Amino acid sequence: MVAAVFVGLGVSAAQAARPAEHERAGMSPRVDRAEWRLKVLHDPDRVRVLDGGPQPVATFTEGARTVTVRGPLRILAEPASTSATVRSTTWVRLLPQPFSGRVDLDWLRASLEDRSPDVIAIALQYVTGAPLVHSAAGAVIGGDAKYGPLQADGTRAEGADFNDYLGITWTYDDGPDWAEREQLRSLDCSGFIRMVLGFRLDVPLVLQPDAQGLPRRSFEMLQSAPGVVTMPDTGRPPSSPSELLPGDLVFFDANGDEGARMDHVGLYLGLDSVGAARFVSSRKTVNGPTLGDVGGRSVLTGTGLYALSWRAARRI
């Protein structure tokens, strides 16, 4: 449901929800020369920054750190596994703290000018063929990731977390987690999300769910993670992906052997060249992160495996 309220920057969403004198007077409040204005929406509670263009300048969601901002056009593609591409001018940045209703104008200006890799760009640093990425200290922190080591039955083993990919020990409040040598440069589906949002972008990481950090397993991420659930699990696919934003986590019940709980998680990218809602995730069938269509189309609509098993979404 949309609350058609436009307000100036620097006021809270709660304030904006009250009758606006600007609206009653037929005025559009302006900020600097950009003529930005805020539009408050609900379900989930969020604020769009508008300037009269066809796309919002930015969208902030109450309780979430991820913010979509308008940026240069880019084309997301994986030609070896799909002919579909995602043409997008939406970039995804993280606030230092969850959005509480007040737009930080200085942060937004800086984010609009920022050309460093965002959430989406970092995620695609792990797909097939991606070149190595090094830290300032020279350590490998990105590049083509596998899903996990090959087992005797021909399947790929689960269990590769971000620190396994890196080959490092990670210490949590309740103790250390040592890297598994055979899982070097591997990431399972939740390990991939923890690598992108946790290790690379500093969302807190935990092994045991605590409603503050990003936990280890996909079903735990839906139940207990930072941010807000924008599409709750009803046991069926959501009616439409139209309310998703790039950077949202999407959850699936794709493995009937585990009962009715989430067993797969991906990162939403946007609408592709044929109008389908496309995501990226790490999978056994292609041995690593992919936005392609091998072993199941990476889309949320239609009759494919992931479209039928999609259940929920969370905005971190």
Summarize pLDDT for 33-45 with one digit per residue, the tens: 458 999 999 999 9
**Mean pLDDT over residues 124-135, rounded?**
97
pLDDT at 138 over 80: yes
Q: Phi and psi at residue 245, in whole multiples of 5°?
A: -120, 145
pLDDT surpassing 70 at residue 13: no
pLDDT at 89: 97
Q: What percent of the chain has pLDDT over 90?
A: 83
- pLDDT at residue number 34: 56
What pLDDT shows up at residue 148? 96
Helical segments of the chain, H only: 13-16, 21-24, 105-113, 119-123, 162-166, 189-193, 218-223, 305-309
Cα–Cα nearest to 58, from 68, 45, 72: 68
Above 60 in pLDDT, residue 168? yes
pLDDT at 277 over 60: yes
Q: Which two tokens stand for residue 96?
A: 């230092």
Contact (Cβ atoms closer than 8 angstroms) between residue 299 and residue 85: no
Q: What integer pLDDT is reported at residue 33 of this predicted model?
A: 42
Q: What is the pLDDT of residues 48-68, one digit of tens each?
A: 999 998 899 999 999 999 999
**What is the per-residue pLDDT across 253-272, written as a single tens digit (0 to 9) for each?**
998 676 678 999 999 999 99
What DSSP assignment string belongs to 6-63? EE-TTSBHHHHTSPPHHHHTT-----TTTT-EEEEETTTTEEEEE-SSSS-SEEEEBT
Q: Which residues pair with 251 in a beta bridge?
A: 265, 312
Look at the block and give the residue holding tokens 């207990």: 224
Beta bridge pairs of residue 62: 99
d(CA 103, CA 119): 20
Residue 156 sits at the vertex; the CA angle it makes with 153 and 159, to the nearest 5 degrees, is 125
Determine the pLDDT at residue 255: 84
Average pLDDT over residues 273-301: 96
Residue 255 to residues 64, 250, 278, 287, 291: CA-CA distances in angstroms?
29, 15, 20, 17, 19
Question: What is the pLDDT, as a whole number, of residue 188?
Answer: 98
pLDDT tens-digit series, residues 90-116? 999 999 999 999 999 999 999 999 999
The single-letter DSSP state of residue 111 is H
The confidence score (pLDDT) of residue 4 equals 27
CA-based nearest residue to 297, from 310, 314, 312? 310
Say whether pLDDT at 20 is over 50: no
Mean pLDDT of the chain, nearest integer:
89
Question: What is the chain's length?
Answer: 316
Q: What is the pLDDT of residue 260?
A: 76
